[in-house]
């Protein structure tokens, strides 16, 4: 999607930073809601995913999903799926494309996704 008048200006990736992209319109909307609800935490999430989306340093906050959620398909390609806990309920789910150093947001929201409850 090309930027349009009124859209936020994305920060360019520099050095070893990763590119962050929305994989769905729902993720883009949810990210906006997260930023409105918890701007500081959303910014920490943004910075963490730009610098190291595969980090094992804070497993309670940032971790790879397991079981049926361990991977997801985007554009016919299977990627590892991770989650970042932005707030007690707010989450960002993302796919990691290592060769392209790109993180695809597939879910962002102020509520915990229900698919992990099963």
Prediction pTM value: 0.91
When divided into structural domains, the chain yields a total of 1
Q: Would 78 be classed as within a structural domain?
A: yes
Q: Does residue 105 sit within a domain? A: no
Question: Domain residues for 76?
Answer: 19-94
Residue 65 lies inside a defined structural domain of this protein: yes
For residue 37, being part of any structural domain is answered with yes
User: Can you give the pLDDT of all 118 residues of the chain as single tens digits?
Assistant: 566 777 778 888 899 999 999 999 999 999 999 999 999 999 999 999 999 999 999 999 999 999 999 999 999 999 999 999 999 999 999 999 999 999 999 999 999 887 765 5
> Residue 100 domain-assigned?
no
Largest CA distance in the chain: 42
Question: CB atoms < 10 A from the CB of 106, how many?
Answer: 18
């Amino acid at each position: 999607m090309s930027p349009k008048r009124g859209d936020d200006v994305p920060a360019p990736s520099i050095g070893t930073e990763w590119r962050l992209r929305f994989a769905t319109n729902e993720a883009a909307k949810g990210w906006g809601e997260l930023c409105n609800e918890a701007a500081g935490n959303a910014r920490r999430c943004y910075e963490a995913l730009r610098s190291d989306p595969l980090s094992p340093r804070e497993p309670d906050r940032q971790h790879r999903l397991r079981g049926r959620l361990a991977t997801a398909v985007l554009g016919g390609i299977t990627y590892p799926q991770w989650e970042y806990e932005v707030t007690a309920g707010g989450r960002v789910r993302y796919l990691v494309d290592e060769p392209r150093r790109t993180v695809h947001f597939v879910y962002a929201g102020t509520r915990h996704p229900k698919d992990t409850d099963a």
